Each structure stands twice: as C-alpha cells, then as structure tokens.
Structure 1
Amino acid sequence: MKSTAFYYSLGRPFSPIYGLAMRLREKMYARGVFKSYSLSVPVISVGNLTMGGAGKTPVVCYLARKLKRAGYSPAVVSRGYGGKANGKVNIVSDGTTLKLSADMAGDEPRMLAELLEDIPVLTGIVRRFPAQRAIEMGANVLLLDDGFQHMAINRDINLALFNTDWLAGNSRVFPGGDLREPVAALRRASRFVMTGMREDNRERAERFADLLHSKFPEIPLSFLEYGPSSSVAIEQGTGRLVESSCSLKEKSWYAFAGIAQPQSFYKSLEECGVAIAGFQGFADHQVYTKEILDQLNREADKSGAAGLVTTEKDLVKLAAVAESTTLPLLALRMEVRESGDFLNNILKELQCSSS
C-alpha cells in the first residue's frame, strides 16, 4: 500500500491529462466517432470504476448460474487479460469441455470456465468477435466480464461494482489514484452494486451508498454479500478444481494471494475461522513458478502450517506446478449471497430489454 501511495503521488500531476483523455474517449463513442456495436441478444456488462478488484468474477459467475436456471442460455465474454491466446476468438470452454489452460486463457476466464461447467466462456481483445461466436454457439444472453470501460459493445444492463472494503480508493484518476475514469463516468451505469458486504463494513458501505445516491439519484443500488462455500484442490491428472474433503478449520494454514487486494482474502479466512500461520501477498495476476511454490512450501514449513491455502483465481494458475508441492494445497471457494431483490431486478430489466 505504501509503495502504491508513493507511485500515485508521482503520477498525480498527470491525472488531469489521463482523465481528460478518458472523457474525450467517452464523447467519441457517444457521438459515433468511435463505433459501438449492437448485438442480436441482450448484453449484461459487469465492471467497475477502480483499478483494483471489485468482485466482478464472482458476480459474473453468480449471474451466469442464475440466468441458466431461469431458462436462458448465457455465455461469458472476457478480454482474457494475462492469457497468451491471441486469436480473434479463444474458446476457453464450450460449455462441455475445458479447452485452454489459465496460462493461455488468463486466470479469471479459466476460473469462470472451471466454475461454469455448462456455460461457454470465450475471450478476445476485440470482444465483439468472441461475442458473435458465442451467439453462433447458441447463447441468447451475454455477460461481458470487466466491461464498464469497453464501450465498443452496446449493453442492455450496465453494472458498476464497488468493493465495500475499497470503495473508490483515494478517489483520484490514474496515474495519481485508483480510478480508471473520472467519477462522472458512473452516469453510464444502469445499476450500482456494492459487493462483499459484512457486518464490520456495513456502516461505511451504507454511507458510501448514500453518497452515490446523492450524486446519481436516478441509478438504483444493490448490496451483495460473499461467503465461503467449500475448499477445493487441484485434481491430479486433469488439473481441474474439485471439492476437497479436507477442512480448513481443523489445522493452521499458510495463506497467499495474488489478487488486487490480497488483504481481503486474509479477512475472508479470518471470518471463516481459519487459523493463519503466515501470509504472503503477491501482485494481481501473479505468474506462479515452481520456484515460487517451493518458497511458499519452505515458509509454510517454518511457520508450522499444515498446508497452503489461496484463492481459486490463484489455484487455477498453479495447476502446472502443483505436483511439486510438499504440502496440501487448497483454495477457499467463495460465493455471492444475495441480499434484497438484485436478481429479480436483473431478470425484469432483461425481460424489458428483450421485449
């Protein structure tokens, strides 16, 4: 955090320039100078305004499953950040078979493909191409992962997420702060979603929600909570994530995470009653090697931990080197728990856009 604050202080003089560039980009799309494409099926975008994680992937997963149960045929479209696959269309999963590793697909698309066994997941830098392929594969609704700044595809529902631990960060535009765009860009949202609600952050989240309502009174807001569902491990031979019979509460564990806010994972473990013998945070989208895993094993041994625990997003990237671990290696599986009428509102908005 201190190093981030230092770099942001250096970048602060350039924030107005970057903010102006983002406003001009938005106007170019609004005026048709940059083309926006409309697709033949409804599009739900799940994105955020901040640089850090806001819980987009769990929300995409939650919506995909609920839409499937409601009778839709959803597909997920992502840019595939960090993945080596560079085709116009990269099929991570066709809804039946996993086709790309985390190394090729990117950690988040691979994780979604693991979690959504009967829902296609596709990537591509120019997202209208995988979006069109998903429609050809039978999708009748698309979930655009991390799509708030991706204005080249028109969307019917535009969700702007805020993590209740992080909110708007330092409220300055990059490179002087955590915002990808100026705050005024939030007027593009059709709904605000506060993710990761807990008792210890509820009051702060509600104050921020009041602030959003005062600035954007026409945009509704929903709250979503996260909670643990199980622990998972890498299945030998397939590299897939499967539920583990090992309980995280019975022993102490050495924890690590390579996500936007590693401390949020630490908090999640504490709330689950997991004894943490040690903790190491990595940069978001960390690439794991055998050497890194060996070092983690050594640190865990020193701490007296019974094994290693991490996030699902990290675990999918460890499949290629997991056999070298000398200790059990698990991930805590988290799921969205709805509070209020979030899903019902989404389904109503979707029906309206389809009519």
Structure 2
Amino acid sequence: MSLEAYVTNLMKERNPRGFDAAFAGFLSLLEKLYLKGVRKRRARETANAVEAGIPVISVGNVTAGGAGKTPCILMIAELLLKEGKKPAIISRGYKSGLEKKGGVVSDGKSILVSQKEAGDEPYMMALRLPTVPVLVGKDRKVSAKKAVALGADVLLLDDGFQYWGLDRDRDIVLIDCMNPFGYFHALPRGLLREPLTALGRASLFLLTKSDKASDEEKLKIKRVLRHYGRTTPILETAHSPSKIVPYETWRKRIHEGELPAVSGKKAFLVSGIGNPASFAETASEAGLVRTGDMSFPDHHAYTDEDVRKAIKEAERTGADLIAVTEKDAVKLMNLERVRNSKMPFYVLEIEMTIKGHQEEILEEQWEELL
C-alpha cells in the first residue's frame, strides 16, 4: 500500500489504534501547523485584497479534491449569457504552462493557447463556452484586470473560496454529499482546506451529488451548514449526463450528440480523474453498457501508447465504442492514434442541474449586483 493510500484510509478511521494512532497524532500536529499557515495567509491576503471594478462571484469549496466546480461554473456562465451578461472566467490553471506567468486562454472569440498551456479544466471551459473569455494564472488580480479589458461585466472566480487577494461579492460554496466535510479534519489529517467556521463566509451552499445521498444523510449535512450559516440558502444539485458527442465533432467545438443514439451500446471507459467510479455511474445513467475500463491518475498526460492499449482492451472486451470524460478528451486532442482509430471515441458531457426548479434562488446571487 502506498503512503497516499495509507493516509487516505487513516483519514476515514475515527478511532485508530497502535501505530495508526501514533501516526494519526503526527498528522494532527501537521494539521495544526497547516491551519496556522492558512490563518496567516488569509490575514495577509485579505489586508491587501483589491477590487476588480465589476462584480465577482466565487465558486469554491472547503475540502481538497473535486466537488463539481467546473460544471457549476459552466451552469452559471450559461445562465448569465441567457440574461445578456458578459461573464469571464478566471482560474489558476493548476499545473498548466501559464500557471505562473498567467495568460488568456480564450478572448471570447477564439482559443489562443494550447491545452498544455491552458490546463485541463480552463481549456475545457473555453471549448464549451466559445463566447466567454477564460483566463488563467496564479495571480488572479492580474487576470481580473485583463478580463475587464476584454469587456467582461461579471467575473466568475474558479476555485476561489481560498483566494483572498481579490474581493468578491458572492461566495458560492459547493458541498460534496459523498464526503461533505473532509472527515472533519484539515490537511493532512483530513481533507479540509480551512476550519468549518469558514462556512460562515458563504453566500450560498450548493449540495453536489445530492441524488446519491439519502434524505437522512442530506439532513445531517444541512444541520452542520445551518450551524455555521443559519440563513444561508441551501440548494440541492445533481450531475447528470447531457450529451455524448463523437470525438471529431467535439474537437470542432460542436456539442451535438443525443444520449438515445448510444443507449444500449457497449462502451469501454477511459478516464484520468479523481473518482473514476463516478464516471462509470454517469456512463450507466447515459444508457451505456460498460465492458471494462482503464483508469489513470488525475491529470494524467496521455500518450499514443496509452491510446493503443485502450483500443486493444476495448476490442478485446467487445466494445462498440470508447467513452471518455471531457477533461480527458482535452488531453487526447493532439494524439494521432485517437484521430485514426477505427474504434470510435465519444465524449460524455455532464451538466449540473438544480433540483426542485429553484434556479431563481441561484440567480438572486447576482441579480442585485448587475
């Protein structure tokens, strides 16, 4: 077992014993040091925070790992576009070529850099939202100025709950119903990025993957949220498959492909995401019959050899097609084996939906700002 797997299992253990208890105690000491550093950084960055000059809406979470921020950003951007607004998305561009120096991925007219320079999620958002500027860089204050110069009238701050260098008007906080509070410990003893008291800063809570949780589980989550934000609105959301697009069509920024067209088809799944099991569930919801899967670590850089092995396995299992996530599709764009494959590749797109038709509560977050 790797150290990472051991620590992850230890996070889940409420009453460790023996060596596990000793190691958990060591991690608790590191947790205290981590939180001390977070407090200092927040105080320093908050004191020097700048205003963007236009409304800023942050989308983030309190735990490490994915909670559905990218689908949420896409949903909000599309709602703003329908209202005639001009949103821009600013992201750090984690592990991208432009993370340190910053840059414009899309100016709202065309994509200006490669996937490697942009980073996976920013490039994907630029593909999905061709009229929305997308900017990346560690210094999001600089990105904000560039976005305003491009004509944006509202900024969507991707993964911005722990970015305090830029003032924001709203903090939308996502809570993953599968692991809402990071085992109630901060890194590295748990997965919290901040103490749960940070939830008091939230303007709105969105429960993600709420369809995967029981009513009793959601009630427990809401009780914790109510403790820190007594009047903060809470909405339940779900991630569901929306389209399945032939790969070459998707590469041309054409998002056309109805789910019934592949219902019952046998699919081999390929993914390099944090939770491959969730992709398998989504594929099943889309009507695909899984013949097997090939999983890689999150942010995996695909090679032609990876694709060759995937095609070989798909053929061996009798698959009709290979299905990938949008995030993985971005990383496969420049590989010749994908373009020349006789085994068809499809991109399974997902969308975030608000349960109970309560979109107006979300829209209230920006109505008085714009």
Scaled by the length of structure 1, the TM-score of the pair is: 0.90
- In the TM superposition, what are the counterparts of 1:1-355 in structure 2 within 5 Å? 4-8=4-8, 9=10, 12-13=27-28, 14-30=30-46, 32=47, 35-85=48-98, 88-198=101-211, 201-235=214-248, 240=253, 242-244=255-257, 247-321=261-335, 322-340=338-356, 343-354=359-370
The 3 A distance-change label for structure 1 pair 348 and 251 is closer
The 8 Å contact of residues 310 and 330 in structure 1, kept in 2 or not, is answered as yes
Equivalent-residue separation in structure 1 for 2:283 and 2:75 (angstroms): 21
Aligned length: 351
AA at the equivalent of 2:292: G
Shift, 1:105, TM fit: 0.4
Secondary structure at the counterpart of residue 230 of structure 1: strand
The 8 Å contact of residues 165 and 201 in structure 1, kept in 2 or not, is answered as no
Equivalent-residue separation in structure 2 for 1:205 and 1:245 (angstroms): 32
Equivalent-residue separation in structure 2 for 1:257 and 1:169 (angstroms): 24
Equivalent-residue separation in structure 1 for 2:160 and 2:134 (angstroms): 15
Match of 2:18 in 1: none
Shift, 1:19, TM fit: 1.7
Equivalent-residue separation in structure 2 for 1:202 and 1:165 (angstroms): 13
Q: Per-residue displacement from partner, 1:7-52 (whole Å, max 9, x unpaired)?
A: 344572412211221123223344x2xx111111000001111111
Percent of aligned pairs sharing the same letter: 33
Shift, 1:340, TM fit: 4.3
Shift, 1:324, TM fit: 4.9
Secondary structure at the counterpart of residue 305 of structure 1: coil
Equivalent-residue separation in structure 2 for 1:174 and 1:66 (angstroms): 34
Say what the alpha-carbon RMSD is for the aligned residues: 2.4
Equivalent-residue separation in structure 1 for 2:117 and 2:138 (angstroms): 13
Shift, 1:293, TM fit: 1.3
Equivalent-residue separation in structure 2 for 1:241 and 1:197 (angstroms): 30
AA at the equivalent of 1:190: S
The 8 Å contact of residues 234 and 240 in structure 1, kept in 2 or not, is answered as no
Equivalent-residue separation in structure 2 for 1:105 and 1:239 (angstroms): 18
AA at the equivalent of 2:153: N
Equivalent-residue separation in structure 2 for 1:245 and 1:223 (angstroms): 25
Equivalent-residue separation in structure 2 for 1:314 and 1:200 (angstroms): 27
Match of 2:13 in 1: none
Q: Per-residue displacement from partner, 1:284-330 (whole Å, max 9, x unpaired)?
A: 22211111111211222222212211211111111111225341111
Q: Per-residue displacement from partner, 1:203-258 (whole Å, max 9, x unpaired)?
A: 42332122211333132211112222110233279664643478332321111222
Equivalent-residue separation in structure 1 for 2:349 and 2:194 (angstroms): 31
Equivalent-residue separation in structure 2 for 1:244 and 1:275 (angstroms): 17
Equivalent-residue separation in structure 1 for 2:95 and 2:262 (angstroms): 30
The 8 Å contact of residues 23 and 182 in structure 1, kept in 2 or not, is answered as no
Shift, 1:74, TM fit: 0.6
Scaled by the length of structure 2, the TM-score of the pair is: 0.87
